[in-house]
Structure 1
Amino acid sequence: MSFFERLKTAAAAEWRAYTEHPFTNGLADGSLPEAAFRHYLIQDYLFLIEFARAYALSVYKSPSLADMREAAAGVSAILDVEMNLHVKLCAGWGLSASDLEQAPPAVEMLAYTRYVLDTGMRGDLLALKVALAPCVIGYAEIATRLASHPDALAAANPYRVWTSEYAGAPYQDVAARMSAHLEDLAARYATPAREAELAAIFKEATRLEADFWEMGWRAGR
């Protein structure tokens, strides 16, 4: 079993609550209220700003040049690709990038990003990557599951662009590289004595991801 699979097994209940949250099912069949998706997307834009900072921290935490390049590629993927999707989707509601950046941050967004950044500040690169993994790898897994739904990519589904972006080859490649790098870091630094500590980090980050979906879900009720 891979290191990532061991983390998922240790956080099985949290992983299921995150990857199978009703918010995600609403994306698949198009039934998610627009207000829920809009609130989520605005907060996710703010989240990505902080996530880019966490990836930038991973450059500093990197023990090798190869690790630094991996981290720098992650920063670029967030700032130059992923955030542009949010701007494109929100433009349909008359929201500019400036509007998104100036939106009031939700408690759930602050709690999650502060946890990831604090984990990175206190720990090494492996601990930081474990905290980042539920988002990066989890979104790829979720989108792959959603894309298999018969209505997920239909023209009538207003969320098809989101699903196709994260289920598409470019993002799936980002997640695969993250997974491979995580395995490499684990082989170097994940001693048996550390696994419980790392599993606890992964579990908490996964729980905070589920809270992020719940935040958006509540906004649509």
Structure 2
Amino acid sequence: MKGFRPQPVVKALPDKTPSSGRVHDALRTAILHGELAAGTSLGEAQIGEQLGVSRTPVREAFAELLNQGLLVEGARRQVVVADPSQEMIDEIVLMRDAVEPVIARQAAERMDVSDVDQLRLIMIRTRRAIEAGDGNAALDCDDDFHLHIPRAAGLGLAADAIRRFRGLTRLAVRHSVSDDAALRRIADDHDAIIEALASGDGESAAEAMAAHLASAPY
């Protein structure tokens, strides 16, 4: 098991963010971006020192990340960055394949123009990140895209579940989507989903989402 890295790999967020939320967001970003590798042990004192907060918000952030599955319990009251098994990822893929096309169908029937515009803005940011060679930023936009659809459909619980699923799969397949070609294919799929959603045709939206999930690396 890897020990906690002494250098400040966790980047602090703006002070206006509440302490527990700031710690959570900084840790989640560091985990998903690979700055905290699977198996890395984290302690309350070290994280608190890096972010300039007390142990209480760190403990609260750990609890939330444990609930999301991104951290697991470790020895000596520490937590460890998760390393999802292939069996877990296969189960997540199965659930996403079943759920996200249904969500897309409902979203096509409920979304308004502003929601579609927001998805198009996300895709502008996605392609800029790809052109800049920033794979992590592109995958962050990918998360935003898949979360905006259930939220726009008023399906908050579904959005929470998808956020958890995507966090775990990003840990497992980080390297398989790091090349520009894979990211461009994802972006092209997203454009097709947007057009289906904008048409208001629920069946077309479901089919576009299903096709995307079938070909996406995660």
Q: Return the TM-score normalized by structure 2.
A: 0.30
Higher relative contact order (CA 8 A, sep 6+): 1
Give the structure with the larger helix fraction. Answer: 1
Q: Return the TM-score normalized by structure 1.
A: 0.30
- Structure showing greater radius of gyration is 2
